A and B are shown apart, each in its own frame.
Chain A
């Protein structure tokens, strides 16, 4: 899909100039994904300091790749080919696809520093453990999908969207070379300039390069948590790590087992043993599906899709198995009532009239061929959750006014709750807590595209305000990187943003929620016009425009979300200025 006439890289793209005593936060509108460019003033009025946070879009976005290239070229031009600090919050495709799809463009930009969450430091044993388990889980999941591709198509979709071309690397474990972040890390020439940020660090100055520092701002690191249990927490109501696969002991056996991981050629002896043990009974007690299709009892009481003997089965290989098995269990049973009076019919032998099961005996709605895959769905959600929780969460604080820009990346419940209790000492000797930072937030980058479990308003006790529940500034503005229609188009039908999160944010910000899919927001009914005028003074959409993505399928279930405007060309980005 053509992304339209963006005059990228040409002089038509103006250099992004930071406002004096403030910051410009530019939200690109590439679809369901994050890409932010922040411009801070430096001592040199002609030179801004650029912080770029993430660049990606979910894989199943028609034309998404072209759009990412447009964005990359635009950033290149707007920064004068120089990014001082790149922040990549976590290894999900909707936050880093740009570095793969537009790798050439980014490779040609000078990038001085890179910040990643501590989990991307593969020399860290705790990180190794997390990625090792995630990798195994992904490998098992991939194998499960291969066995039941139709039943698990929505899970495949999820994986594609979040890993894109890095799925193979993510499913592999160990060596740094195979890290999905490899393409990102190599963008910085000096490995010493890659910082793996840990919670509790700060206040950090933005790393100065060539004498350009940003005296007006300091950064606090809140997440990802250092406790793996908190990484795993996904459900607001459950305790840390309670319902997770990824933390259980004996996980390797558990996963190989529960997803019926297939024996593979390059399997180690150890892995082979695990797979062997994952069968509940000795091999001589197992009847293959092909053999079962020839056994009267199973034809009558279970039934098979085509109702025909094994030779007609689509794979053809099950018939071969039956032949090869020869005198194995099925024919041992001989003339027992189990297999039928004259033994099992051989492959290709016509089924006699009396053998044909009646519908009442073996209707297909009673079969359980794919019920086991529900476990795979659950596992996919848990993997997604863990990776979201590895998000690097940063609070940018203005030194003078203590106003905060809060970038929550895709942090989910466990990440949010882990900030509780973090405190820092500012250079001026004052103490600041995570609660203070949340309270002082004036700009909130909404967690995980507005999904239900990524905007926390209370602590686990259900009463103490936390997270967004503390954000009480009257000037609060939210940046929401959601594209509702693209979400609906996914085969599982994603629901982003969540209705309650959206409505809660609209209320708390008095309508000042800037969304990727909606552009400049409309004033809320009954709002204060002066407040709105003041808000609009801080907004500046791209004067040039791009063609929108093609219109989505309308969904009667979410009429309030409307549809993408199919006609009007859209600005590529929206700038929002925060003044210190």
Chain B
């Protein structure tokens, strides 16, 4: 009897006859999950000229738990940073969540763009928001955290009421930002600091807008790449600087808007394939930098929500019928107050710097292509040249985006102005790239100057004098902050890859520790820009807060990577609209007595300092100070706040609605779409 040869086992148990164990090679976890999205918004897919470039495949990180190695993205999508919950209360319904782990979807890079499929909406909102988060993490070299949840808002009616029982460390960790892709029935989308959520609206297109939208067809803000990136940026910025939503001067909210626009705009320029296609299509206009502005404007057009931004960058000259960049007007910054319009000035300044940088980076290419004549031959550009030019533009965009994000670590903790941001930009870049051989910093300073944006506390607009300074040169070499070694232990191991919950807990612990030590040894804080007398109030209230302690990476002069600690400490005193009452309150504070006849304060007047501390030596490299005792700043803030409060019918009828209930961004964004149809 002959034995038949053993059947090879495929995927089954190894044959006993051969007594051999077949090993399957372990599968490597994918680094990315590819997901399709609109590069702009659905309206472009209906335009022949743009349809081809309107679909991008975004590479978002494959989310897994570093401790267990398990994949964590589940239906929703719900992952490490985001949870998409598709609840539509205005329509009284919900939509089923997408499961991106279904094999068909994994094989197809997710669902294909479709306006009529809510699950694609969920996918796109997730993919674009994740892309934005990754840009932040790469620029900052640490993981992104959302602003913590405060259990109870401050007592309404008295902004200075004690918040006993709501100690800093009790603020709850919020692991995931929530995304509601269809949360509103209006032409609006906003970040809710209260709910830690992005709410996207949808609305019927206006009849007047037939060119790009079906009349009374639906416009979904969650399908606009820019809107999603913009709102996500609001949330990320709030996670770093939660006092930047307090409108204490005309620049604060404008900065929030501008920064969100900057991120959305430059994220577009990082999609090289989109750039290439546009460059080829417009046949070489890239030589004159106009194309970039024109592109930026088209990007804005598609989103349909940012009228002010478009106007700020330029427009078609009716006489020549050619697009021309806007001529910077340095006087506008004095008169334009509305947050979007004012913010667009900052965007325009940054964009001007970007164009200058691109020009420097591409000068050699153009010399080669034109054999030094500077005149490009007629006809289409060589595809290689197109690719190279687009690559340079993408690189410049990436650099400037990184610069803008990194500068956030160098901002004052409260009451930011555009001038402060310029100093932060320059200092942050100086810390990362000591040699400015490509002239990035010069380009930025020049562009800001052309828009009339400059800080008021420097002697000149040279790069040197714009760098932040340590507040007291004598304290440079002293380990001025108590417990720096302890803090180092808490903070140092935390970087990319660490568990975010642990990161949050450790940062909170560092804050609490520093707070406790400062309470006991307030005197040691002199020289850091804080008012030592005001750290504790006569009635026993603590009037300072260790706002954050976080690591920031920089490159040392010898090219080695160093880590700084960014420490933000804020303090406040009672602010009154009436200067006479203010004097009484200040007097009581000075004399350390409690004056029971004082009315509740009108607002908290905040000051504080951002310290950049060399982690190993404790050297305070920079102190970015907002003096809580500044009379000028108080006068400005008083004027600004009282002007803010009283311009609308809303102030007349709804003055008593709880402040905490209000959505600062909802009101800013609402009905802006009306401008587009006009």
Contact = CB atoms under 8 A, between A and B. Distances in A.
A559 to B, nearest CB: 6
Contacts of B95: 281, 285-287
Contacts of A367: 87, 195
A557 B603 CA distance: 12
Contacts of A554: none
A250 B206 contact: yes
Interface in B179-201: 180, 182-186, 188, 192, 194-197, 199
Interface stretch (A79-87, A197-205, A256-264, A467-475): A256-264
Given A250-B207, A494-B655, A298 B87 contact: yes
A371 B188 CA distance: 12
A286 B91 contact: yes
Nearest to B651: A452
A338 B94 CA distance: 13
B595 interface: no
B89 A452 contact: no
Interface string B331-365: 00000011000000000000000000000000000
B218 interface: yes
B354 to A, nearest CB: 31
Contacts of A385: 649
B197 A368 contact: yes
Contact of B652 (A282, A372, A453): A453
A280 interface: yes
Interface of A is mostly: loop
B108 interface: no
Contacts, number: 212
A404 B183 CA distance: 53
A384 B87 CA distance: 31
B16 interface: no
Interface residues of B, number: 71
Interface in A326-373: 329, 333, 336-338, 365-372
Nearest to B335: A462
A374 interface: yes
A237 interface: yes
A372 B90 contact: yes
B677 interface: yes
A354 B80 CA distance: 21
Contacts of B207: 249-250
Interface string A265-304: 0000000000001111110011111011001011001100
Interface stretch (B34-42, B404-412, B480-488, B663-671): B663-671
B186 A243 contact: no
B671 A556 contact: no
B649 A451 contact: yes
Nearest to B218: A280
A234 B88 contact: no
B653 A371 contact: no
A381 B650 contact: yes
Contact of A337 (B75, B188, B647, B656): B75
A236 B91 contact: no
A494 B149 CA distance: 31
A496 interface: yes
Given A337-B74, A374-B666, A384 B653 contact: yes
B116 to A, nearest CB: 6
B93 A492 contact: no
Interface in A454-510: 488, 490-496, 498-500
B204 A368 contact: no
Given A259-B185, A301-B76, A279 B91 contact: yes
Interface string A53-64: 000000000000
Contacts of B182: 280
Nearest to A260: B90
B172 to A, nearest CB: 8
Contacts of A366: 178, 195-197
A130 to B, nearest CB: 18
Nearest to A256: B204
Contact of A365 (B94, B117, B194): B194
Contacts of A253: 204, 216
B337 to A, nearest CB: 8
Nearest to A244: B674
B97 interface: yes
Contacts of B196: 366
B457 to A, nearest CB: 28
Nearest to A293: B94
A115 B119 CA distance: 59
Contact of B184 (A289, A338, A375): A375
Interface string A533-572: 0000000000000000000000011010000000000000
Interface in A360-418: 365-372, 374-375, 377-378, 381, 384-385, 412
Interface string B551-567: 00000000000000000
Nearest to B220: A280
A82 to B, nearest CB: 37
Contact of A556 (B83, B157, B338, B675): B157
B137 to A, nearest CB: 24
B548 to A, nearest CB: 22
A280 B653 contact: no
A443 to B, nearest CB: 24
B93 A495 contact: no
A302 B565 CA distance: 37
A143 to B, nearest CB: 12
B599 A154 contact: no
A368 B87 contact: yes
B92 A289 contact: yes
Interface string B88-111: 111111111101000000000000
Given A237-B337, A372-B183, A488-B656, 9 more contacts: A250-B207, A254-B206, A281-B117, A338-B75, A366-B197, A375-B188, A375-B670, A452-B647, A453-B647
Interface of A: 154, 158, 234-237, 242-245, 248-250, 253-254, 257-260, 277-282, 285-289, 291-292, 295, 297-298, 301-302, 329, 333, 336-338, 365-372, 374-375, 377-378, 381, 384-385, 412, 451-453, 488, 490-496, 498-500, 556-557, 559
24 contacts: A236-B647, A243-B671, A248-B674, A248-B677, A249-B207, A259-B185, A280-B220, A287-B96, A289-B92, A292-B94, A295-B94, A295-B96, A297-B96, A302-B94, A336-B75, A337-B74, A365-B149, A367-B195, A451-B649, A492-B657, A494-B655, A495-B652, A495-B655, A499-B646
